[in-house]
Structure 1
Amino acid sequence: MAQFIRTYSQLDQQDLSSLEALYHPAVVFEDPAHRVEGWPALHDYFQRLFQNVTHCEFRIHQSMADDAQGYVVWTMVFAHPKLNRGQHREVQGCSHLTFQDNQVIHHRDYFDLGEMLYEAIPLLGRVVKSIKAGL
């Protein structure tokens, strides 16, 4: 878990090579919008993600783990030129990790996709925020 936290805390969009040591070749990665299987597909996912943002960092707040699994609570701070006029956005989330052979074999992220994307789109953002306020 310490290596996972260190890697994500120092993740550099110019150099994603540190991720390969974390993930099992047969990793399954899931978040609210994607599911990718295998390290090559996950590497491609991260490359596309970082090509589209001008800034991305993870702030790790809490973690706990045993030999089989772990949980991480984080804030992702990112900027995308087409969202929120390119200004930084913060999204709270957590990850559930399952380990095999001292690597992550399954990585599931939980976060509010509306907060991340839809609320940053001018007209749609107002609609999503008003729906959330009414719940």
Structure 2
Amino acid sequence: MMEKLIETFYTALNNSDGKTMASCYHDDVVFEDPAFGILQGERAKSMWLMLCESQNGKGFKVEFTNIKTDKNRGSAHWEAYYNFSKTGKKVHNKIDATFIFKDGLIIKHTDVFDLHKWAKQAIGLKGMLFGGMSFFKKKLNTQTNSLLEKYMEKKKLSN
């Protein structure tokens, strides 16, 4: 049953369907990844809405494999293929995800990927030089969260 939830989540991501993705999350969800840091509740759901909206129809593709679940936990490997919006550069990001479930939904979702490798692809030379440094991650988190704030304000989504 939880395996189906993860399949639904990533199929929705591949289809740029943020609403379905958000419906897989518990209201008290905690999401974490290198690009956004830690997001909770509506902020985590809104991140997927924002990302799906921005990628819709732009050649975004997701492949997911190796889904493993039990009653309370799960994991998956997924790969995203897209052009980074700020630079137009092609990105192939390889991500390992872990999940904790509650009430039949995802309550904790952690994505792990090589931020330095992502930065080299997405940003180029500056990403290659600085992508592995903590100040880069901090600046990226600030920028992504600022974009999320603006998106939520525009869409009148609660924080």
Tell me if both proteins adopt one fold, taking TM over 0.5 as the criterion.
yes
Residue identity opposite 1:4 in structure 2: I
Counterpart contact for 2:60–2:82, Cα < 8 Å: yes
- Counterpart residue number, 2:27: 25
Hey, what's the Cα distance between the residues in 1 that align with 2:90 and 2:80? 10
Aligned alpha-carbon RMSD (Å): 2.2
- Counterpart residue number, 1:68: 72
Q: Work out whether 1:124 is the aligned partner of 2:131.
A: no
Residue identity opposite 2:39 in structure 1: V
Stretches of structure 2 that go unaligned for 5 or more consecutive residues are: 132-159
Counterpart contact for 2:116–2:128, Cα < 8 Å: no
Counterpart contact for 2:21–2:48, Cα < 8 Å: no
SS at match of 1:82: coil
Hey, what's the Cα distance between the residues in 2 that align with 1:43 and 1:107? 11
- Counterpart residue number, 1:97: 99
Hey, what's the Cα distance between the residues in 2 that align with 1:18 and 1:80? 23
Q: How many residues get paired? A: 125
- Counterpart residue number, 1:49: 51
Q: Work out whether 1:59 is the aligned partner of 2:42.
A: no
- Counterpart residue number, 1:4: 6
1:118 Cα offset (Å): 4.0
Q: Which structure dedicates a bigger proportion of its chain to helix?
A: 2
Deviates more, 1:48-57 or 1:89-98: 48-57
SS at match of 1:117: helix
Hey, what's the Cα distance between the residues in 2 that align with 1:90 and 1:69? 26
Counterpart contact for 1:76–1:90, Cα < 8 Å: yes
1:87 Cα offset (Å): 4.1
Q: Deviations over 1:30-64 (max 9, x none)?
A: 001321111x2112212333455444332112111
Residue identity opposite 1:44 in structure 2: S
Hey, what's the Cα distance between the residues in 1 that align with 2:53 and 2:120? 20
Stretches of structure 1 that go unaligned for 5 or more consecutive residues are: 130-135
Hey, what's the Cα distance between the residues in 1 that align with 2:119 and 2:54? 13
Hey, what's the Cα distance between the residues in 2 that align with 1:127 and 1:74? 26
Residue identity opposite 1:90 in structure 2: H
Hey, what's the Cα distance between the residues in 2 that align with 1:45 and 1:20? 9
Residue identity opposite 1:80 in structure 2: F
